[in-house]
Amino acid sequence: MTEIVKVQRPVTTNDPTAPWLIYDKERKHVQQRPAHLIVNHVKEMMGNDYKMYCMGAWSSVVGWGISKRVKNEAW
């Protein structure tokens, strides 16, 4: 099942491996993923933003799978 998730990258860091956060509104599934494991299409969607909302699907094996960007939410 897909749902809206928030994707956040660190605002200030000099560590290129600092983890990104990916989580759903209720925070049932919160994932910290090292920057080098963020797939290119997600980085391209993010651009210069520090957070975005996307459609995501949770997998207990690999964590969040991110598809398309959606409009910003209030959470």
Tens of pLDDT, residue by residue, the chain (75 residues): 899 999 999 988 888 778 999 999 999 999 999 988 999 999 999 999 999 999 999 999 999 999 999 999 999
27 occurs within a structural domain: yes
The span from the CA of 74 to the CA of 60, in Å, is 27
Q: What is the DSSP-derived secondary structure letter of residue 18?
A: P
pTM comes to 0.91
Nearest-10 Cα torsion for 39, 70, 52, 63: -50
Number of C-beta neighbours around residue 66 at 10 A: 21
Q: How many domains does the chain have?
A: 1
75 occurs within a structural domain: no
Q: What are 3's strand-pairing partners?
A: 56
32 occurs within a structural domain: yes
